[in-house]
Amino acid sequence: MFERCLYFNLNALTRKVNRVWEAEFRQTGLSPPHAYLMRLVLDEPGLSQKQLAEALHLDPSTVTRFVDALAARHLVRRDISGSDRRSATVFPTREGKRLQKKLEKIGEELFQSLRKRIGDKPFRQLVNSLLEARNALDDNKGNPS
């Protein structure tokens, strides 16, 4: 019944992947989305929240909430140019920089673990197929055909 259903199979896979990622990132006190935003800020300090939203494929309001949460934990700071928090640039704090090696290690361990469980070639094909599908859907916004 579900062998042709992208929605069901993708959501089932997403739930399994989320459980693995949440368990690994729990040791940092960050959710996977917060951890990936943090990794991006560490890799490219000074990005605007709009740029972060684009890179992470998230709504700007979601990124604003994530940055608020990370700032409350003193992991990032914003430089606001104007009254709109979404236009702020984001930088890691000293405390945030201390997480960098741990976040990179977790990311690498997750990559290696899933690649081993799924197999190198199928893993890379899956990731590439997901990227291609996401890009195709971005190119055809609102057009399911």
pTM of the model: 0.84
Model pLDDT for residues 32-67, shown as the tens digit of each residue:
999 999 999 999 999 999 999 999 999 999 999 999
Ranges assigned E (strand) in the chain: 47-48, 76-79, 89-92
**How far is Cα 120 from Cα 128, in angstroms, rounded to an integer?**
12
Domain enclosing residue 127, as ranges: 6-139
Number of domains present in the structure of the chain: 1
pLDDT-derived band at 143 (thresholds 50, 70, 90) equals: low
Please state, rounded to an integer, the average pLDDT across all residues of the chain: 91
Question: Looking at residue 1, what is its pLDDT?
Answer: 75
Q: Tell me the C-alpha distance between 88 and 84, whole Å.
A: 7
Give the tens place of pLDDT for each residue, 79-103: 987 666 557 899 999 999 999 999 9
The CA distances from residue 54 to 40, 107, 139, in Å, are 12, 21, 14
Q: 15-29, 54-68, 84-98, 124-138: which range is least confident on average?
A: 84-98
Higher pLDDT, 91 or 1: 91
CA angle 13/34/73 to nearest 5° reads: 150
Would you say residue 125 lies in a domain? Answer: yes
- Is residue 1 domain-resident? no
| 145: in domain | no
Please report whether residue 144 resides in a domain: no
pLDDT for 145:
46
From CA 85, how far away is CA 2, in angstroms rounded? 43
Question: Does the residue 58 lie in any domain?
Answer: yes
